[in-house]
Amino acid sequence: MSLTNAIHDSLPYIDAEPTLSERASALALIAEEVGSEQIDNHPLLPPLAQQNFSPLIESELLRIENKEPLKAIDLTRYEALEPPTTSPHSDERTPETLIAWRKALQKAYTSQSYLVGRTTNLALLEKYGKNAWLIGNAQLEDVLRGLEKELAETKAEIDGVAIERKNAQEAVGGELKGLEEAWKRGVGRVLETEVAAEGVRMEILGRRREGAR
């Protein structure tokens, strides 16, 4: 994030508005002053601490960098199950066969529990979902009205500060203009005095040259 502040107009109610060329010249001087020394972070900020991520976080960051899809849930457990190829009622009553059927039954129980829960949730959603959605919308509308009210109050405060600033500037506008005119007259008199003094000096030097002859 750049540390260069955005340019805000100073609301010159008294001073003349700068021309486009004057503004461009000022911006060019600012850019030249900033130069290549501008950095994203303030030099007084301490350096960032070394990050030590766990292997799980490192793998997740690598996945995001490679733009790979997230595979957080194994969906195969909710698919249609395939029974073991060997039936336990056959002559092959080996431990491996019994283990295969036990795993198949466990997966079937898991799928059945998931489907029961999903059916229950869908029924609750159909019965209470509309009211919950309407209540949520009403709460969001209350939040929106509060934010709009706060925004309107902030804008009113900004307008009030701008009006006070304008009135303050216009109240001293005549005084500032008089001081500016007095300063210009003073500078003009100083220049006239310097010109007159230079003329007297040149006249004295001319008379000295004539006397030296």
pLDDT digits (tens, 9 = 90+) for 31-72: 888 765 555 677 778 888 888 889 989 988 999 999 888 877
If pLDDT is split at 50, 70 and 90, which confidence band does 149 have?
very high
Nearest to 86 by CA among 97, 75, 71: 97
DSSP one-letter string for 33-79? HHGGG--SS-TTSPPPPPP---HHHHHHHHHHHTTPPP--S-GGGGS
The helix-helix angle for 173-212 and 95-171 (nearest 10°) equals 60
Distance CA 181, CA 173 (A): 12
Please tell me the predicted confidence (pLDDT) of residue 37.
58
By CB atoms closer than 10 A (0-12, 13-18, 19+), residue 156 is exposed
pLDDT digits (tens, 9 = 90+) for 110-141: 888 888 998 999 999 999 999 999 999 999 99
Distance CA 72, CA 69 (A): 9
pTM beyond 0.75: no
Length of the chain: 213
- Average pLDDT of span 4-29: 73
Look at 154 and 104; give whichever has higher pLDDT. Answer: 154
For the chain, percent of residues with pLDDT exceeding 90: 28
Say yes or no to pLDDT of 167 above 90: no
Quick check: 117 and 133 in contact, CB under 8 A? no
Distance CA 30, CA 28 (A): 5
Say yes or no to pLDDT of 187 above 50: yes
